[in-house]
Structures are given as C-alpha cells and as structure tokens.
Amino acid sequence: MNFPWLTTLLVLPLVGALVVALLPRGSASVRPVALGFSLLTLAVAVGATTQYSIGSGEQFQLTEIYPWIPQFGVSYALGVDGISLSMILLGLVLVPICIVAAWDDVPATDRRQHTYFALMLALTSMIVGVFAAIDVFLFYVFFEAMLIPVYFLIGMFGGARRARAATTFLLYSLAGGLIMLVAVIALYLAGPRGTEGFLVSNLVGLDLSVEAGRWLFLGFFLAFAIKAPMWPVHTWLPLAAEQARPATSVLLVGVLDKVGTYGMIRFCLSFFPEASQWATPLILVLALASMIIGAFLAINQDDMLRLIAYTSVSHFGFIVMGIFAFTTVTQAGATLYMVNHGFTTAGLFLVAGMLIARRGSRDIRDFGGWQRVTPLIAGALLVSGLSGLALPGLNSFVSEFMVIVGLFERHPWIGVLAATGVIWAATYILVMYKRIATGPRPELDVPDMTGREKFVVAPIIAAFLVLGFFPKPVLDLLEPAVQQTLQHVGISDPAPAIDTTTAEGSGR
Amino acid sequence: MADLFTAPEIDFVGLLPMLIVFVGGLVGCLVEGFAGRAQRYAVQVPLAVATLVLAFVALVVLAPDHQGITGAGTVALDGPAQLLQGLIVVLALLGMLVMAERLGGQQPDAFTQSGASAPGSAEEAYAGRLGATTTEVFPLTLLSVGGMMLFVSANDLLLLFIALEVLSLPLYILTGLARRRRLLSQEASLKYFLLGSFSSAFFLFGAVLLYGFAGSMRLDEIAAAISSTAGMDGLLVPGILLVAVGLLFKVGAVPFHAWTPDVYQGAPTPVTGFMAACTKVAAFGAMLRLFYVAVEGARLEWQPVVATVAALSMVVGAVLSVVQTDVKRILAYSSIAHAGFILTGLVSMDQAGISSTMFYLATYGFMTIPAFAIVALVRSSGTEATQIGQWSGLGRRAPWLSAGFTFLMLAFAGIPLTSGFTGKFAVFAAAISQGYAWLAVIGVLASAVTAYIYFALVVRMWLGDEAGDTQVAAPSLLTIFAIVAGVAVTLGLGIMPSPLLDLAQSTSVFLR
C-alpha cells in the first residue's frame, strides 16, 4: 500500500528518456528500449489501478505528500481520483501505440531518433505528473513544463512550417499559463497559506468574496480554454496539428489538451463554485459555438490533419457543455468523452498518418479511391471516423448520448442545438471518407497495412468496441469523482434524475 | 570645545571581507607596475581568484558573528548586506573566470592590448607587436567588486555615493576595453561614463535635499526625521526621487535605461556578464536599504512612482527585446525587463519583498553570467558572432553549448523547474500579497512577450539552417567551469530552492 505508485509512474518514463538519450550513436535499440519503457510504465499503471478502490471515502487515493518548498507552501503531492486515474491510463495506453506508430518517423541518422523518442518519454512523465498532481503549484509546474517537450517535438520533427507552429503553440499556452499563475498565487494568498497552502484539499471551499472568486475563475478558465481548445482561442491547434507528426498530435490533442477540461472540473468548479455558475451561460454559448464552428470548419477541409484538429475543437465543445450542464449524467458523460475522444483522435490521426506516409501529401484532393488500393487502412479510417461521429456501438456514442440527454434536462434548447452536432459530425466524417477512399482506383502502387501498423490499429479499435459496448467499469470509476465535484459546486441533479445505468442501457 | 573627539568604533573583523577585496585590488595594481609582461597573467588571475575566495571564506566564517552597525553609523553589516555581499563575491568569481579566458592565446581574449590608444592607430599596432597585456582588468574588477560590497552595506548617503563611484569608475574603463569592434566599445564607454556621471549628480543632489530635510546623511536618522517632521515634503519627496534616479539608472530601469543596450553591446562580453549580474545585485541592495530603512515612512509618496517604473521597465524591456537582432542587445533589453520584475518584488514593502528581491537577484545573476560567457564563444571570422542570423543551426555544430544556452533561455523565460520560474514566483507572490496584482499581471504578460524572443533564438539555434562561417571557440576549463556552475545553480534553484529561500528569509531583516 505504501509503494509510491505515482512517483514510479512519474520517474520511470523520465529514466527511460535519459537511457534512450544516452544510448550510443547509431544504436539500433533506441526504439525497442523506448517501447519497453513505455510498456513497463503501462504495466505499473495497471498495477496502480488494482490498488485503487472504487467507492472509498477518500477523494484522492494512492496519495504521496511531502514538503517541497515549504517557504512557498508547496508540497510534492500526488494522488488520483477516478477522473485523473482514467486520464493517466488513457495516456499510458496511447504512448506505446504512438511509439509503434512513430517507428519509422525519424531516420536513425545522427542522434535525431534518440531525441525524438526521448522527448516522447519525457512527455509521458509530464502527462502523469499533470494529472496526478494534487498540489496546485505542482500542477502548474507540470502544466508549463510539458510545453517544452511538445515544443521540441513539433519544432524539430514537424513539417515545413514547424517553427511557426511550435512557436504559436508555445506562446498561446504560455500566455494562458502565466495569467493562471497570477490566479494561482492569489488563490494561495486567499487560502489558509502555511507550508501546505497549495494542496488542493486546503483550497476547496474557501470563503472567497464574489468578486475575487470571479476574477480567479477567469484566470484559471482562460488557461484551460486555450488548452482545451475552445473557440475563439483555438487557432493554435490546427496549425500545430497540421505541422506535428501524427504521433505527437495524438499525445497533444488526445491526452494533453484534456488538461484543459480536466482543469475546469478539478479547479474551476471545485474552487470557484459561485463563479462557475455565474459564468455558465457564457461558457455554454462558447462551447456550443466551438462545437458548431469546429464542425463547419472541418467540413470540406482539404488538409487531412487540420480536419481532424477541427473535429477535436468540435468534440471539446461537447465536453465543455457536458461539464457546465452540472448534472451527474452530463459530467459523467463528459469525462467519459474525454477518454473516448483520446482513442478516437488517436485512430484518426494515426490512420491519417499512414495515408500521408504513402501518398506524401496531406491534401485530401490528392487522394481518392484508396479503398481499392489499401482496403485495410481505408477500413480503419472508416471505423475511426464512425467512432468520431458517435455511431451506436462505438465508444463516443455512449458519452455523446449522456451529454445530450443531460443537456435536455437542464437546457432544452441547447440540447436541441447540441444534438445537431451529430449531423455535422456525420457530414464531415463521411465527406472526408468519400473523398479519400471512394472513387476510381488511383494509379498507385502502395502497400496496404503492414504488420506494425496492424499493431497500432488493433488496440485502438478494440478500445472503441469495449468502450462502446461495456463502458460500465470506466463509468464506475468516473462517477464518484463526478459526484464529488458536483457536491463542491453545490448543485443537485434536476428532477427527475436519470440513473446513469439507465442512460447507458438505452445507449446500447 | 565641550565635546571631546571620540574615535568611532570600527569593527574591522566585520569589514574584513571588503578589506580583503580592496587590498587584493591594490596589490593587483602593484603587480601591474612591477611584474614583467610575461608573468602578469600568471600572477593576476590566481591573485584575483584567491582574493575573492578568501573574501567569501571570511564572509561565511566571520560575518554571522559580526553583525551590527559600525564606522560611526555609516556601515550596516546586517543580514541583507552580508547575503548580498556573498552573492556579489560568488558572481564576481564566476565573472572573473570568464574574463580570464584566453582561448589558446597569450592574454585574455576579450580585451584589447592597448585600451588608451585610438582604434586602428600605429600605437595600437605597436602595442600588439610588443605583446602588451591587459591584465589590469583584474584589479579593476576587484576594486569595482569592493565598491559593490560597500554599496550594499552603506548606511549613509555620502558613503553610498562614494561606493557608487568606486564601483562605477572601473566599470566605465572596463567597458571601453573590448578587443574587437573597438570604436563601438569606446563609444559605449563614453556613453556610460557621461550618463553615469549625470545620474551620480542626480543622486548627490537628492542626497543634499535629504540632508536639508533631516539634518543628517544617515539612513536611520532620515527615517527618524520622517516620522517626527511634518511639512517639509518639498525637500523630502524630491530628495527621495532624485536619489532613486541615481540607483534606478544603475539597474537600467525605464526611463533611465537608454544606456543599457549600447553599453551591453559595446562592452567586452565577459564584462557585460559581470556588469549585468553584479551591478544589479549591488544597486538593488542599496535600493532595498534606502527604501526599507530610510524612507519607508514616506512610502505613500514614492511607492506609486516605483510601481510605475517597474511596470514601464517590464513593458518597454519586453516589447523592445522582440525587435532586436543582436543577441547581446536581446539580453540587454531582457535585463531591463528583469529589472522591472525585481522592482515588482521590491515595491511590495514587506519582508517577503526583501527576501524575494534577494532571491531573484541570485537567480538572475547565475543565469546571466553563463549566458554571456556562451555568447563570447560563438565566433565568426575572428569576431564574436552576435547577430541572431549567425546563430542559425548552432545546435548541430555545438550541441552541448546550445543545450546549455537553451536551458538558460528557458530560465530567462521563467519556465518551471528553472530558477527563473522560482524567482518570478517569489516576486509576484510578494507583489500580489501587498495588493499589486495589476503589477503581477503586467509582469506575466511581459514574460510571455519576452518568451517569444528567447524561443525565437532557440528556434534559430536548433531548427535553422547552418550559418556559413559561424564557429564555436573551444573554451578552457575556466569558462567551462563558470558555465557549468551557472547552469547547475539555475537548475538547482529551480528544483530545490528551499535552502536559498530559507537563507534569504532568515537574513531579510535590516538593522536600523
């Protein structure tokens, strides 16, 4: 019980990054070692999950708390609840998949390959840290520090406009983060202070003045909205996703951007319940706008990676709506959506990466009829796309359904508009599939899915199906944490409350 | 003749660290006069290093037991003074090592062989043929360091002025001694001298007004006069502001910053590093004492002014750094912005303000010296390559050096896990706790702006195409040690800042 599970998860990938970086020049074992470390970390994470007990009264489990900078009130404090544990697991499942997908991304000349995989492992460590931190300062440290590996992953290994993409990404995130820093400090000063003043548990339920609470809420929310990303501060994402390697995009969009929505739940709602409700109308409108604008930008987008990025903007709109509808169903749905979206994005980006590697172009107009050349890849694209448009039986359906059902209860009109999102999603996905895969057979001679690529796609599709047909374990994990959050906000479900198991049952 | 003259008590043991440095500097002058050309370098460098090490040992061993106000109330040896003195000595040591870099030649590489002769003249060429040396930089630096140490402990406006001149005059000379691009260097030196003299005059005038107000030059008596006197604001407020002008000039705060970019660019790069780090420590040390000890009672009068200066420094420094194309000028404008960050801590006027200011000074010093040391190593056809374009693709040519510089840039930008973040956190926390949240917001926005230029540099180094003839000179162990030490401290203070924070907090009480 006293084994430091989370510290191990944090340190192991970092050690892996160091080992990979220090392997001799031209070493052939860079990729296997990187993969080994990522799998080992995943195994430890599974071990940690077995130690986690659902329904324990504690908000955070597997906690480790040590003083770090007592002069500032900072502790090295790790711990997980259902939401953060599921995000960590999502990240750690996706990392080995991404490493396999990125196997041939970087030729083994110089030390570039070393750098590439070392950065990926370093990023893994940051993923664990940012979700496991239960000290606001520590969270902030990881929140900013994770920008650095992503910055170099995009900037050193991306496409032709990589420098611009990396800088845009960095400056957006940094600007949001630094504003949040002011709010972080002010929050500490408003709290009990002392040597453990930054612990999340010491900052929940503060007696803030209305005005202070609202300002602080905005400070946090802006950073998370940029990260999530929400319209109108989403503009860094399409550029970053377009220029980054698909594997980088998966980790960035699929996992790291969840810090935005995770942060809204963990910090905005829990610390500033009054301000959250005050801001809800505006945020719901922004989220709805994200969903609709993202979808429209995705329809008929010519750049494949850009298209996927816009679908994510749209999906994040859904997630934020779910969070700010303040019902158990929508929030459980939103958090489940965070997991689902990770897999969906991974499927879309990685399959698109396979297509791009074969065609040498991201432009959809260069494709057409590929289901005749590469039926397996086209099929994988279709399945991932269907997961993105929330086809019943695949993962996203359950979560999207829960969000919409809950929205109808709380805000019927927004529910109606949100439901149209399903139509837009079907449009952009099917139009993309049509343009890429259908049509006359192109004059090309490219191989279909290789063995390695099958190892990439298989676990993702398996996840689609498992989460689509049997989401109960994940929901059981998420629900206590969601209820805890709603308790902090002090809102109860509207009557008649819909039991989640019913929603899930009808979802099937 | 009623009063007999009583000799003031002087705590020579407490003053020993300063005495060591001054004596070391004077001995260095003698060495210049008597040692042969061939031996001077071999004598001066160990002498200077030994002096600083000895002074540091004296500080650590003796200082804690010899706190107090001495020299007829003119010198305060208290926690902040001794901490900052130690910081100055350590930073000067690192700076000295970088100055001593020869890059395989016979004499310090960055300095001209004949500072007094006109650039390109026959005398200069003759000095070169003769094998003239420039080892006078070492005693000059030591004298300047002595002045800085006195500056942070001076408890009297007149002594403060003397210390200001003692620390400044050697710097004016050092600025003009660059070996390459000598015209630029001499221009910088003249500019620095003229503007510096003006600011000294302002300082002196302010000191006179304060004397007129309080009837004494001593900081504690000025403080006492403020609390007991009413209705003399016409002398007090202009006095404070004029004295502040002199000090704000030294740290390069806006609107007294005009000299900074030119001087930073023109001075020999190792001198720039030394100057940026140590002068800031000294001037902010003096400013802390002035504001917290002497004129704390009148803070309603000057606090808004200083807050405005802080805001302006951050904004102007950040915005103008973005359009620079020369690495040294980028660092110069960034130093202006950093002066604003430090002022943000200073202006908060509580104990956290003192400790956070001192902590920030340490973090800034330890990242600045290695940064300039690295700039000094990047060469193109014999001269320093300071244009950003010339740094393009450096990462491939010199990965370790570039990695070090990248890390320092992260620290300048204030990314977590570097000392730059801890320092910024400390000063912003101090400012917000005293109701200066607006200053902190300007501060973080300025940080985001400066981050742009730091990362633009990093992008050039790692992602740019290799620039034609840029090379990296192979440094000796002296420079390597300075760089590694600076980077290590920058990392250490980012991950484990507690010991230094403890020290800064426990020493943050001024004796009055």
What pLDDT shows up at residue A499? 53
B336 vs chain A: nearest CA distance in angstroms?
20
Asked if A69 lies within 8 A of B501 by C-beta distance, the reply is yes
Cα–Cα distance for residue pair B301/B288, rounded to 1 Å: 16
Closest chain A residue to the Cα of B396, Cα to Cα: A110
Which residues, in sequence order, are CB contacts of A211 under 8 Å at separation 6+? none
What pLDDT shows up at residue A496? 55
Q: How far is CA B430 from CA A72, B117, B336, in A?
A: 11, 50, 20
Cα–Cα distance for residue pair A409/A402, rounded to 1 Å: 11
Cα–Cα distance for residue pair B247/B287, rounded to 1 Å: 7
Residue type, B495: I
CA torsion, points A419, A364, A255, A489, in degrees to nearest 10?
-20
* Residue span of the structural domain in which A498 resides: 292-508
What pLDDT shows up at residue B360? 93
* Total residues found in chain A within this entry: 508
Strand A74-80 with B68-70, pairing: unpaired
Contacts of A181 in chain B (CB under 8 A): 425, 428, 444
What pLDDT shows up at residue B344? 92
Between A490 and B78, name the one with better pLDDT. Answer: B78
Query: Is B420 in the A-facing interface, judged by CB distances under 8 Å?
Result: no
Between A156 and A89, name the one with better pLDDT. Answer: A89
Cα–Cα distance for residue pair A348/A345, rounded to 1 Å: 5
Q: Does the N-terminal peptide bond of residue A412 adopt cis geometry, omega within 30 degrees of 0?
A: no
Cα–Cα distance for residue pair A45/A131, rounded to 1 Å: 13
Mutate to test the interface with B, among A14, A71, A167, A173 (most CBs of B within 10 A): A71
- The CA-based angle A216-A219-A221, given to 5 degrees, is 105
What pLDDT shows up at residue B481? 93
What pLDDT shows up at residue A507? 40
Q: How many A-B residue pairs are in contact by the CB < 8 A criterion?
A: 84
Cα–Cα distance for residue pair A54/A72, rounded to 1 Å: 34
Query: Is B410 in the A-facing interface, judged by CB distances under 8 Å?
Result: yes
A95 vs chain B: nearest CA distance in angstroms?
24
A257-271, A479-493, B452-466, range with the lowest pLDDT: A479-493
Asked if A174 lies within 8 A of B451 by C-beta distance, the reply is yes
Asked if A167 lies within 8 A of B417 by C-beta distance, the reply is no
ipTM, two decimals:
0.86
User: What would the DSSP string read from start to end of B332-347?
Assistant: HHHHHHHHHHHHHHHT
Give the CB-side neighbour count of residue B18, counting CA atoms within 13 A. 25
In chain A, how many domains are there? 1
Query: Is B444 in the A-facing interface, judged by CB distances under 8 Å?
Result: yes
Does residue A227 sit within a domain? no
A402 contacts A333 by C-beta, under 8 angstroms = yes
Does residue A258 sit within a domain? no
Query: Is B341 in the A-facing interface, judged by CB distances under 8 Å?
Result: no
Q: Please compute Rg for chain B using Cα positions.
A: 22
Helix (H, G, I), strand (E, B) or coil at A79: strand
Domain boundaries defined on chain B: 12-506
What pLDDT shows up at residue A506? 44
Helix (H, G, I), strand (E, B) or coil at A41: helix
Which residues, in sequence order, are CB contacts of B41 under 8 Å at separation 6+? B100, B102, B106, B107, B108, B133, B135
pLDDT higher than 90, residue A355: no
Q: How far is CA B73 from CA B15, B148, B203, B253, B296, in A?
A: 13, 19, 20, 30, 19
CB atoms within 10 A of CB B424: 28
Which residues, in sequence order, are CB contacts of B230 under 8 Å at separation 6+? none
What pLDDT shows up at residue B98? 92
Residue with tokens 């430890």: A44
What pLDDT shows up at residue A503? 47
Between A112 and A339, name the one with better pLDDT. Answer: A339
What pLDDT shows up at residue A505? 44
pLDDT higher than 70, residue A294: yes
Which residues partner with B75 through β-bridges? Answer: B70, B154
Q: What does the block give as tokens for A272? A: 């500033």
Asked if A178 lies within 8 A of B448 by C-beta distance, the reply is yes
- The CA-based angle A222-A224-A230, given to 5 degrees, is 80
Residue with tokens 């996927």: A308
Q: Which of B415, B426, B459 sits opposite A145 (nearest CB)?
A: B415
Q: What does the block give as tokens for B359? A: 């902590």
Which residues, in sequence order, are CB contacts of A417 under 8 Å at separation 6+? A288, A292
Query: Is B440 in the A-facing interface, judged by CB distances under 8 Å?
Result: yes
Q: How far is CA B426 from CA A188, A374, B344, B451, in A?
A: 13, 58, 10, 19
Write out residues in chain B with pLDDT < 50, as ranges.
1
B54 contacts B22 by C-beta, under 8 angstroms = no
User: Which 3-state string (H, E, C) describes A437-462?
Assistant: HCCCCCCCCCCCCCHHHHHHHHHHHH
What pLDDT shows up at residue A440? 82
A255 vs chain B: nearest CA distance in angstroms?
21
Cα–Cα distance for residue pair B144/B224, rounded to 1 Å: 32
Query: Is B351 in the A-facing interface, judged by CB distances under 8 Å?
Result: no
Cα–Cα distance for residue pair A21/A119, rounded to 1 Å: 9
Contacts of B448 in chain A (CB under 8 A): 171, 174-175, 178
What pLDDT shows up at residue B156? 92
pLDDT higher than 80, residue A333: yes
Asked if B505 lies within 8 A of A71 by C-beta distance, the reply is yes
CB atoms within 10 A of CB A65: 16
pLDDT higher than 60, residue A502: no
Alpha helix segments (H runs only) across B231-388: 233-251, 259-266, 269-274, 280-289, 299-322, 327-346, 351-377
Query: Is B499 in the A-facing interface, judged by CB distances under 8 Å?
Result: no
Task: Write out pLDDT tens, residues B248-274.
Answer: 999 989 889 989 999 999 999 999 999
B424 contacts B443 by C-beta, under 8 angstroms = yes
Cα–Cα distance for residue pair B55/B17, rounded to 1 Å: 4
pLDDT higher than 80, residue A40: yes
Task: Write out pLDDT tens, residues A66-95.
Answer: 888 888 888 898 888 888 899 999 999 999
pLDDT higher than 70, residue A504: no
